[in-house]
C-alpha cells in the first residue's frame, strides 16, 4: 500500500519486500540510521548508509537520476527518514519513497535483516 504525503510517498513493509524480492525496479535504497545501527542489521538490498543528518552534505553519493529514479529511505521508526525524504525533495529528487514505521515495522512483519562481515550484517 502507498500513502502520499506532500510529494514523497509512504510505503509499507509488504510493498518494500515485494519491490525488493520481485526486482520491480532499480531504486536506490538508503538506510538513514547511524553507522552503528546499520552494522546491527539492515534491510536486504540497501545500497547506502547515510545518516539523515549527513544527507545534505553527502547528496552526491546518491547515484540516481533526480527526475526518473526512485529513492527509498528508511530508519528505525520513520521519523529520521521523514527528515531525509524532505531533504531529498529539497535537492530535487522527484520519486522519493519512505518506509512507514521504519525497520521496526519491517521486523514486525517477519522480514529478516542482513549483516556484513565486519560484525554487522550484509
Asked whether the predicted pLDDT for residue 120 surpasses 50, the reply is: no
- The boundaries of the domain holding residue 57 are 12-108
Asked whether the predicted pLDDT for residue 64 surpasses 90, the reply is: yes
Q: Is residue 95 part of a domain?
A: yes
Catalytic residue among 30, 55, 62, 75: 75
Closest CA to 120 of 42, 47, 52: 42
75 is catalytic: yes
At 76-100, the pLDDT tens digits run: 999 999 999 999 999 999 999 999 9
Q: Which pLDDT does position 119 carry in this prediction?
A: 42
H or E, element range at 2: strand 2-5
Q: How far apart are CA 102 and CA 73, in angstroms?
A: 9
Give me Rg for the CA atoms of the chain.
Answer: 13
- What burial class does residue 71 get, using C-beta atoms within 10 Å of its C-beta: 0-12 exposed, 13-18 middle, 19+ buried? buried
Q: Is residue 90 part of a domain?
A: yes
At 4-36, the pLDDT tens digits run: 445 789 999 999 999 999 987 789 999 999 999
Q: Which pLDDT does position 25 carry in this prediction?
A: 76
Q: Is residue 16 part of a domain?
A: yes
Q: What is the CATH number of the domain that holds 84?
A: 3.40.250.10
Asked whether the predicted pLDDT for residue 2 surpasses 90, the reply is: no
Q: Which pLDDT does position 10 carry in this prediction?
A: 95
Q: Is residue 2 part of a domain?
A: no
pTM strictly above 0.85: yes
Q: Do residues 115 and 29 touch, judged by C-beta distance below 8 A?
A: no
Amino acid at each position: 500500500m502507498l500513502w502520499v504525503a506532500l510529494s514523497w510517498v509512504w510505503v509499507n513493509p509488504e510493498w518494500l519486500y515485494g519491490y525488493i524480492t520481485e526486482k520491480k525496479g532499480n531504486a536506490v535504497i538508503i538506510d538513514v540510521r547511524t553507522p552503528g545501527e546499520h552494522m546491527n542489521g539492515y534491510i536486504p538490498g540497501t545500497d547506502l548508509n547515510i545518516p539523515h543528518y549527513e544527507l545534505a552534505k553527502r547528496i552526491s553519493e546518491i547515484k540516481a537520476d533526480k527526475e526518473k529514479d526512485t529513492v527509498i529511505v528508511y530508519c528505525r521508526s520513520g521519523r529520521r527518514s521523514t527528515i531525509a525524504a524532505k531533504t531529498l525533495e529539497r535537492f530535487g529528487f522527484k520519486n522519493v519513497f519512505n518506509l512507514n514505521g521504519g525497520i521496526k515495522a519491517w521486523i514486525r512483519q517477519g522480514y529478516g535483516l542482513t549483516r556484513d562481515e565486519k560484525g554487522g550484517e550484509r
